[in-house]
Each structure stands twice: as structure tokens, then as C-alpha cells.
């Protein structure tokens, strides 16, 4: 068996299967450089709730309604406009620590849990 086959012979001008190089799908329309898809814009506009915050909300019986989430989103946008990174948001007898860049609620507490608490590692507070 003197003949050797090489990748170039099996797949001329193509990326072989299993190769780390990414092939473009001809059915997927490519975005011009510097533009963002609707999905990216939509995902980035949403406020996320971390797993830790979700557990805390459930433990403390806090349910965030859509209008409250809209207020939180507005507060995050205000904090971002001022250059905040980690913000304390006070709203309706509850407090939330929010990662402004990721638009993520990191933890949340009700009024009773806020008593005698010290909030650290924040650089801003938004009261709504």
C-alpha cells in the first residue's frame, strides 16, 4: 500500500469534517461587520436573574411583576449611564444588588432582611 491519501486529496478546497475551522452555512445570512442581530439586541435589553437571586426571591416570597422588572431595567440603564458596575436598587420595600454590565440581579432581599444589613462591593445606589 504505497499510495497515501492526504486531507487535501479527500477534501479539495474545503475544511475537513472535525476540523476546528468554522465553515459558513450558505443558508444563513451573514451580518455586515459592526451590526448586531435582533436576537442580540433583545437579549441584551432583558434583565436577568441569577440562580442565587432566584433562590433568595423564592425563599423570601418575593415575586417580581412585569412592571417592576421594567422599573428595574430603567434603574439599571440610569446606573449604567453614570458608569456604575455594581449597584444597589431599592424598590417597594425590597433591595437588590445588580451587576450593571450584565444586567443581572445578583441577590435580592425583602424589607425584613434589609434590617441591620451592610451592603458592600457596590459603587452606586438607585432608589425607585
Is a pLDDT exceeding 60 seen at residue 31? no
Mean pLDDT for 113-128 is: 92
Asked whether 105 and 66 are in contact (CB, 8 A), the reply is no
Q: Of 8 and 104, which is predicted with more confidence?
A: 104
pLDDT band at 56 (very low <50, low <70, confident <90, very high): very high
Per-residue confidence (pLDDT) for residue 117, from 0 to 100: 87
C-beta neighbour count of 53 within 10 angstroms: 21
What is the reported pTM? 0.65
Handedness of CA 9, 13, 16, 20 (dihedral sign): positive
Amino acid at each position: 500500500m504505497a499510495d497515501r491519501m492526504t486531507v487535501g486529496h479527500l477534501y479539495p478546497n474545503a475544511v475537513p469534517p472535525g476540523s476546528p475551522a468554522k465553515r459558513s452555512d450558505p443558508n444563513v445570512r451573514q451580518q455586515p461587520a459592526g451590526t448586531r442581530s435582533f436576537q442580540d439586541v433583545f437579549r441584551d435589553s432583558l434583565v436577568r436573574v441569577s440562580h442565587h437571586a432566584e433562590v433568595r426571591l423564592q425563599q423570601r416570597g418575593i415575586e417580581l411583576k412585569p412592571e417592576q422588572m421594567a422599573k428595574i431595567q430603567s434603574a439599571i440603564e440610569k446606573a449604567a449611564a453614570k458608569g456604575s458596575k455594581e449597584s444597589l436598587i431599592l424598590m417597594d420595600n425590597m433591595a437588590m444588588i445588580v451587576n450593571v454590565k450584565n444586567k443581572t440581579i445578583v441577590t435580592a432581599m425583602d424589607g425584613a432582611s434589609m434590617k441591620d444589613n451592610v451592603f458592600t462591593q457596590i459603587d452606586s445606589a438607585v432608589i425607585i
